[in-house]
Amino acid sequence: MSKGDYLGEFEHIVLLALLRLGDGAHGALIRKEIEAVTERSPAIGAVHATLERMERKHLVSSWIGEPTEERGGKAKRHFKLEKAGVAALKQARVTFLRLSAGTALREQLA
């Protein structure tokens, strides 16, 4: 696995948010989900830039929806988690579990 294949922290968070929301989620929904779960308020530009970067890595895909009135007549970009994205999440989880196995992390966090 080359260096560019590993998930960054924010990429990891955005992918997990997309996994929780399911296919078809759009930027505002993903941003709100991250805010609700992590209690940090990411900028919408950072969310879109991260999703765009992951789209280039084929971890997610996107398509443009129809314009709606509640968005001032502007269209949504919907996102879908791809197989490579799921694999990257699994890899990150396995790495974390391997590294934390046998350490006192569980006791320290308890």
Q: Give least dist CB 87 to another protein, A.
A: 23
5 binds another protein (CB under 8 A): no
For helices 9-21 and 83-100, the axis angle rounded to 10 degrees is 120
User: Which residue in the set 72, 83, 103, 110 belongs to the binding site for another protein (CB under 8 A)?
Assistant: 72
For residues 106 and 98, the answer to whether their CB atoms sit within 8 Å is no
The burial class, CB within 10 Å (0-12 / 13-18 / 19+), for 54 is buried
Q: Give least dist CB 64 to another protein, A.
A: 7
4 binds another protein (CB under 8 A): no
Displacement of CA 92 from its chain's centroid (Å): 13
Judged by CB under 8 A, the chain residues 12 through 41 that form the site for another protein are: 26-28, 31-32
Q: Give least dist CB 52 to another protein, A.
A: 6
